[in-house]
Amino acid sequence: MAKAKVKAKVKEKEKEKPLNIETVTWGDVTWVNIVRPTERETEYLAQKYPFHPLDLDDCLSRIQRPKIDEYKDYIFLVFHFPVYNVEARVTNPSQLSVFIGEKYLITLHKGELKPLVKLFRDCELNEDAREEHFSQGTGHLLYRIIDRLVDYCLPIINKISANIEKTEDNIFTSRGMPRAIGDISTLRRDVIAFRRIIWPMRAVVATLEPKIRRFTSMDLAVYFGDMIDHVDKIWDALDESKEIIEGLNDTHDSLATNRTNEVIRMLTVIATILLPITVVASIFGMNIPLGPFENSPYSPLFVFIIIVIIIASMLYFFRRQRWI
């Protein structure tokens, strides 16, 4: 009973909190921005707009793929955009859910997409920005949002390229060689994660313009064509990065194998030289008569000369065979 009362009090406190909803209106177009949506915000949308319950559930789900669901009065879209995690050195997907209708555009996200947050703030504070982005309808506003988020991918690509160059330099230095394999693995994971984000989004962006054409008075075909080119450029850059990383991995393996072979060869040469020396030392260390060396005070010198001759002979032989 006590736990039930505590839960009830928590729910009551949550209901008392204001909804995490911000709006900007210019003319008859309204942009509703919801950061870190919860069930309370989706319930508000369900009461005010004719949205399908499954679409509202998708806004809170973390396992959605980019998609377009088209209805009579609105379109529901899900996008995934990359966000670079500096600490983990990997790119993670951040979901953007969008409802677009004739007079409204609703965005739901976690607040990690900086270009989207900045654009909303500009429209909130600047009358000229509102007129620029809202005057051509919600379709044009959606294009502005997606275009900025696509362009936001380019600095992340540049960061990956910089990390690849740094890793390439480490591979060919003795100090950086030991940690190069870890850097290569991190880069490979980052590129794979980025490709997993971009691949399904390409199809959504490519088919978006004809579907939102009814929500704008402006012909956006050329603009969306340019945005699709940017997405393709990002994909090509990821393909190139993937090939470079594979090449660096092969190069690292080749260098590591070559260095291992060099070490093994030197150890083998040392062991081969020490083997006859060990035999000579063992023979002269035995308590048995050895002819002229038995009672001579120069016996240690004779043994040392024999060892030097053996070492010199073996080194000469190895050199002639180009083993060292």
- The chain-wide mean pLDDT, for the chain, equals 85
| Total count of domains within the chain | 2
Residue 9 lies in a domain: no
Residue 296 lies in a domain: yes
Domain match, 137 and 73 both: yes
pLDDT for 177: 67
The domain boundary residue, chosen from 202, 235, 257:
257
Residue 11 lies in a domain: no
Domain match, 273 and 243 both: no
Q: Is 176 helix (H, G, I), strand (E, B) or coil?
A: coil
Domain match, 176 and 79 both: yes
Residue 6 lies in a domain: no
Instruction: Please give the share of the chain, as a percent, with pLDDT higher than 90.
Output: 40
pLDDT for 55: 92
Domain match, 87 and 174 both: yes
Domain match, 240 and 275 both: no
Residue 126 lies in a domain: yes
Residue 188 lies in a domain: yes
Closest CA to 83 of 53, 116, 130: 116
pLDDT in tens, 132-178: 889 889 999 999 999 999 999 988 888 888 888 888 888 877 665 66
Domain match, 189 and 278 both: no
pLDDT for 25: 92
The pTM is what? Answer: 0.77
Range in 130-144, 196-210, 232-246, 309-323 with the lowest mean pLDDT? 309-323
Residue 2 lies in a domain: no
Angle between helices 221-284 and 177-206 (to 10 degrees): 160
**β-pair type (21-26, 67-70):** unpaired
pLDDT for 65: 86
Domain match, 231 and 275 both: no
Torsion angle, alpha carbons of 311, 313, 315, 317, to 10: -150
Domain match, 246 and 269 both: no
Q: How confident is the model at residue 5 (pLDDT cuts 50, 70, 90)?
A: very low
Interior angle at CA 106, CA 102 and CA 107, nearest 5? 140
The domain boundary residue, chosen from 240, 257, 274:
257
Residue 1 lies in a domain: no
Domain match, 232 and 298 both: no
pLDDT for 294: 61
Domain match, 127 and 150 both: yes
Q: How confident is the model at residue 48 (pLDDT cuts 50, 70, 90)?
A: very high
pLDDT for 288: 60
**Mean pLDDT over residues 220-237, rounded?**
92
Q: Which domain holds residue 110?
A: 16-257
